[in-house]
Amino acid sequence: MSVRSFMLEFRTETSQVAELRDERFWWNDSVIIKITAHRTWVELNRISSQRHGCGHGSAALAWFCALADKHGVSVHGIAAPFGDSWLSRASLIGWYRRHGFKVTESATDTYIDRAPVTSRMLPS
């Protein structure tokens, strides 16, 4: 299992946002997931639901984490609300924690880290 196999399945299960190479649509184009693949881990840049408050973002993050688990890939990033974000900073941090992320706050940023869990299965 590897980042390469993760990325192959990620690209198969998502579709590219027009002219934005690193942003992908998930589940009927309702959620945009932006990631950066590194050699041994994946950076989650953002998950943005097109319809706030419907649970699509949470479903996308659960799917994403299960895919990372399946391929043995760690996920890292920075938790930061953007644009007209639906979630406050505190709510965003709680959202990531509920999905198994370790949250570390510094003076300037809030880091999210998640090691793969090998016993999880992909949701259907």
CATH for 71: 3.40.630.30
Q: Give a yes or no: residue 19 inside a domain.
A: yes
Range of the domain at 69: 3-114
pLDDT in tens, 1-18: 799 999 999 999 999 898
Q: Give a yes or no: residue 121 inside a domain.
A: no
What is the pLDDT at residue 124?
52
The mean pLDDT value for 30-42 works out to: 94
Backbone angles phi, psi at 41, to 5 degrees: -155, 170
Q: Give a yes or no: residue 76 inside a domain.
A: yes
Q: Give a yes or no: residue 108 inside a domain.
A: yes
Q: Give a yes or no: residue 105 inside a domain.
A: yes
CB of 26 within 8 A of CB of 67? no
> How many domains, the chain?
1
Q: Give a yes or no: residue 122 inside a domain.
A: no
pTM of the model: 0.87
